[in-house]
């Protein structure tokens, strides 16, 4: 049973499809599907039918990934990240990188911005992966073979970079996501 579904807005491009495929390759327990003409109600039904906690939906602008939305099983947008740019796995590592079958941890710095902390906490909760405070990615050797470390790094002017590294040796494997801004639309507080 997937913990998160990955899809696109209705009309998409090859680059957006490649990006969603890359996300699926580094996110454990995720399942990618083509949305096609699926309405919002059908999308919510798909989330609930699959047993997933949410869907990551990638929207498009001028052929490129534009926004990443996390939509709950109730159909509410929990978080919206406006994307500045995306580098695909093949652009980070031209030769075939390691096959990833799990996520070891999510890493943020010791003084993260509010938006970086929000995105990291939401991904940690969705993927059921521990959130660790560290200034760098620390490779773990043999126990990190075929596992990834997700890292969020603050940039000037409220931007952030979301990267993926091989836990075995700490080498960046992609995709690399440059986030312009984040809006938290629904709080986890009851």
pLDDT in tens, 147-183: 999 999 999 888 999 999 999 999 999 999 999 999 8
Calculate the CA 147 to chain-centre distance.
15
Classify domain 4-81 at the CATH superfamily level. Brix domain (3.40.50.10480)
pLDDT on residue 189: 38
Which residues does 41 contact at the CB level (< 8 Å), separation at least 6? Answer: 75
Q: Which residue has the higher pLDDT, 94 or 87?
A: 87
pLDDT at 190 > cutoff 90: no
**Separation CA 164–CA 177 (nearest Å):** 9
Q: Which residue has the tokens 């490649």?
A: 18
pLDDT at 98 > cutoff 50: yes
What's the mean per-residue pLDDT of the chain? Answer: 91
Q: Output the six-digit token pair for 38.
A: 């699926």
Among candidates 2, 98, 87, which has minimal Cα distance to 53?
2
- Span 102-184: which CATH code? 3.30.160
Domain ranges of the chain: 4-81, 102-184
Q: Tell me the whole-structure pTM to 2 decimals.
A: 0.91
Q: Which residues of 62-86 are buried (b: 16+ CB within 10 A; e: fewer)?
A: eeebbbbbbbbbeeebbbbbebeeb
Encode pLDDT of 110-138 as tens digits.
999 999 999 999 999 999 999 999 999 99
């Amino acid at each position: 049973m997937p913990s998160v579904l990955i899809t696109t807005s209705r009309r998409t491009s090859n680059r957006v499809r490649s990006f969603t495929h890359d996300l699926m390759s580094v996110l454990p327990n995720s399942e990618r599907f083509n949305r096609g003409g699926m309405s919002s109600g059908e999308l919510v039904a798909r989330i609930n039918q699959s047993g997933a906690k949410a869907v990551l939906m990638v929207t498009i602008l001028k052929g490129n990934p534009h926004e990443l939305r996390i939509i709950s099983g109730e159909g509410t947008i929990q978080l919206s990240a406006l994307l500045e740019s995306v580098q695909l796995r093949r652009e980070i590592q031209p030769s075939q990188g390691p096959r990833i079958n799990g996520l070891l941890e999510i890493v943020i710095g010791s003084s993260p911005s509010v938006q970086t902390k929000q995105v990291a906490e939401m991904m940690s909760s969705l993927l059921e992966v521990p959130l660790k405070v560290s200034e760098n990615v620390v490779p773990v050797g043999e126990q990190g073979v075929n596992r990834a470390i997700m890292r969020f790094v603050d940039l000037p002017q409220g931007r952030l970079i979301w990267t993926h590294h091989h836990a075995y040796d700490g080498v960046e494997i992609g995709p690399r996501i440059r986030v312009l801004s984040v809006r938290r639309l629904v709080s986890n507080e009851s």
